Structure 1
Amino acid sequence: MKTIDLAYRTLYAELVQRSLDASFEADFSTAGNFVRVPVKGRDYWYFEETRPQKSRRYVGPAEDPEIAKRVAAFKEIKDDLRARRKLVSTLVRDAGLATPDAFSGDVVEALEKAGLFRLRAVLVGTVAFQTYAGHLGVKLPGASLQTGDADFAQFHSVSAEVDDSMPPLIEVLKAVDPTFREIPHRTDAGRTTQFENASRYRIEFLTPNRGSDEHADHASPMPSLGGASAQPLRFLDFLIRDPVRAVLLHRSG
């Protein structure tokens, strides 16, 4: 495998950091405050607002150094959208890194803005593979492969305990493409783990199955996923236990 030039790897690392900064700028109004809340012996950051009414949103574990740093520097965060677009263009054009198809990029961007990754869900599968080259610093064969789907995963314990939720997920997806519809689960018809549009582009939500094999045939309700459930999969916990922050080279990252 061919190593990516150090200059481009440095640009990619800068883009990851700037994208994280910008996500905080978009998610959290400077009119609110971060508060540290103890839950079952661990401390977590929440964002609290009092207008138009008092509300509190989950941010992440207090021991996460990246989150702690962003909280400390919150007032200094600036949205440098134009500069990030230039970084993305350079990494795609000059470094030859893979970019997702436009529709996949729009889907992931909409879900990110709706809070999916803030609530500790993880992008997995083919679309996630397109971020590996920048993170690892090597050009990977097949990184531009497109399969017409996007997969996301989240631990059920996280979904149940963050005490926060995305907006209704079907509404988020319909804002990208109004033809998106819920696909009833094969054994739990009242629940949905997959969504599909008129072009057969499919989005699926997964969760690790660390219990009985009987769970494999049932959809797991996920309180933080805006009304969506998730399909339990054995050994998925090994894949998503230690996620890394990365960016898709789409729009401004």
Structure 2
Amino acid sequence: MSSLYRELPVGAQVAYSEVYEAARHADLHRSVASLTGSFQSKTIKGRRYWYFAYRDALDGKVRQIYVGPESGQLEALKSRAAESPETGISRMSAAALAHGCAGIARKHFRIIRQIGDAGFFQAGGLLVGSHAFVALGNLFGVDWLQSTHTLDIDFAHAGRGNIAVALPADVDVDVRSAIESLEMGFLPSLGFGGTPSGSYVSSMEPDLRLDFLTTYGRDGSVASAPNLKVSLQPLKFLDFLIEQPAQTALLSDQGAVVVNVPDPARFALHKMIVAGERPVGERLKANKDLGQAAAVIECMLDQGDADRLQEMLDEIETRGPGWRSRFGKGMKRLAAQQPGISGRFSAEVVDRS
């Protein structure tokens, strides 16, 4: 069975680690150096997450900026938050790319960095979809052997009041102005009745699309997010995807941007659920979902993370028959598309649940 990835050389993994830490330090310094506050943590589903809490000078309310999941590197960064960050991140990123790390198109990097600089990720936003898949490859220290080309950039936010998600939702961020400042012709895509749809399409490049997603409510209607200044399109099963997020960096020869991405196990199993939900007319999209799921599953099994996959599968089991049915359909499609990886996944994870 041929693998769906290749392991990056040690030099590439070291280069990625260095540029990620430098970008994270710069990001943290830019966010908190001018604020008076303190680092605080929350434990959610057994994992600890760190925030910087400060009092808003305008309304006196306490706000939280998301810093990231607990790690040894984060502890060191917290102590250095007020120090001036390293320069030359673009040079470091270019070096990581030269060693074999994956980057994204300049145009897409510019968009994601602009939205990131506006504070979207510190305010609870995630990057999902194919760009998150690219970022997970660098996080794992591997190079995916399938195409990651996409014209969509998918963002997600839980909205206010979702306590199951580690990310804060009380920081005001003007995402709409950030999009407009790109001057790339992005206009809101309207839904039925002329209402906002949660998407932006470029008038200069109609295939280039930004989607802002959120968890599915009772009526499935588009949600207004006043604190983000954009509308959010509800998506089924997104609540499972965005819990317990990971943090990584997207690379370009123009620099690096720190982003929140889904937990890898949640990413893979969510792709299988979505593939099981897709109709026959979306077979190409389903195949892409399954290809990404298979690659992440294979990598996690090879790296000894079967227990994490099993933990997420157990959670799906508790979510009801609809979830189990869609996951079962996804498993059948995975077996047809990637029988070797499907067999390993069944033997090492599914049959143990």
Normalised by the length of structure 1, the TM-score is 0.80
Matches within 5 A, 1:146-157: 146-157=149-160
Matches within 5 A, 1:1-253: 1-30=5-34, 32-35=35-38, 45-48=52-55, 57-60=63-66, 64=70, 70-76=77-83, 78-82=84-88, 84-95=89-100, 97-143=101-147, 145-157=148-160, 162-167=169-174, 169-186=175-192, 189-198=194-203, 199-200=205-206, 201-209=208-216, 211-212=217-218, 214-215=219-220, 218-225=221-228, 227-250=229-252, 251-253=254-256
CA contact (8 A) 2:68 2:247 kept: no
Shift of 1:162: 3.3
Distance 1:165 1:29 in 2: 18
Cα distance change of structure 1 residues 3 and 196 upon mapping to structure 2, 3 Å threshold: same
Cα distance change of structure 1 residues 202 and 69 upon mapping to structure 2, 3 Å threshold: same
Shift of 1:229: 1.6
Q: Which structure has the highest helix share of the two? A: 2
Higher RCO (CA < 8 A, seq sep 6+): 1
SS of alignment partner, residue 237 of structure 1: helix
**RMSD of the TM alignment (CA)?**
3.1
Distance 1:186 1:242 in 2: 34
Distance 1:123 1:191 in 2: 21
Q: Give CA deviations for 1:169-195 in whole Å, capped at 9, x if unaligned.
A: 2221121125111122336x4434011
Q: Give CA deviations for 1:129-176 in whole Å, capped at 9, x if unaligned.
A: 221221111110235x32222000111235896332112x22211211
% identity of equivalent residues: 18
Structure 1 counterpart of 2:245, which letter? P
CA contact (8 A) 1:45 1:58 kept: yes
CA contact (8 A) 2:69 2:246 kept: no
Cα distance change of structure 1 residues 43 and 86 upon mapping to structure 2, 3 Å threshold: closer
Shift of 1:2: 1.6
Q: Where do 5+ consecutive residues of structure 1 fail to align?
A: none
Q: Where do 5+ consecutive residues of structure 2 fail to align?
A: 43-48, 257-353
Shift of 1:242: 2.1
Shift of 1:56: 5.9
SS of alignment partner, residue 7 of structure 2: coil
CA contact (8 A) 2:159 2:225 kept: yes
Aligned residue-pair number: 238
Distance 1:108 1:86 in 2: 19
Shift of 1:45: 3.0
Normalised by the length of structure 2, the TM-score is 0.59
Q: Give CA deviations for 1:176-228 in whole Å, capped at 9, x if unaligned.
A: 125111122336x443401111212110111122x43x32xx10122332x21
